[in-house]
Structure 1
Amino acid sequence: MSTPVSTPATPDAVLANAIRALSMDAVEAAKSGHPGMPMGMAEIGVALWTRHLKHDPADPG
């Protein structure tokens, strides 16, 4: 028998899993909807929010 090896989670993976958990909670609380898209697109959302969407509220222009 082999011992399972766990790999350390990257910060992006932790964020993606948080998005998944929050999406499941939101669908459950609403008693409506389907969590498939947010579950599958969580990594893309993390990449967009952390690497491409830059916004400074103090300087919106």
Structure 2
Amino acid sequence: MSLETPRLVQMANAIRALSMDAVQAANSGHPGMPMGMADVATVLWSEYLKHDLDAPDWADRDRFVLSAGHGSMLAYA
């Protein structure tokens, strides 16, 4: 199942907004990477990664490893 482009754009913009808000609230962090990678994260999670929000301990789920610590807000947004 594929999401329409306007929906993906809306989701990516939500990630950007959440990232900015979280960095501002923490008065710490780097918003550049999460904002720049929002489109990539949106497509990965909505189109490619196997996951189930209702079963976070599902053994067969895909894992996403982000090695850029300064961009960790992307995973939390």
The TM-score by the shorter chain falls in which range?
A: 0.7 to 0.9
CA positional deviation for 1:28: 0.3
Question: Match of 1:55, SS?
Answer: coil
Identity of aligned residues (%): 61
| CA–CA separation in structure 2 for the residues paired with 1:35 and 1:55 | 25
SS in 2 for 1:22: helix
Please state how far the C-alpha of 1:55 moved relative to its aligned partner: 2.1
Is 1:49 the counterpart of 2:45? The answer is yes
Runs of 4+ in structure 1 displaced over 2 angstroms?
Answer: none
Q: Distance in 1 between matches of 2:51 and 2:38?
A: 20
Number of residues of Structure 1 aligned to a counterpart in Structure 2: 53
Larger Rg: 1
Cα RMSD for the two superposed structures: 2.1
Residue 34 (structure 1) shift: 1.3
1:52 partner amino acid: Y
The two structures have a TM-score, normalised by structure 2, of 0.61
Residue 8 of structure 2 corresponds to: 12
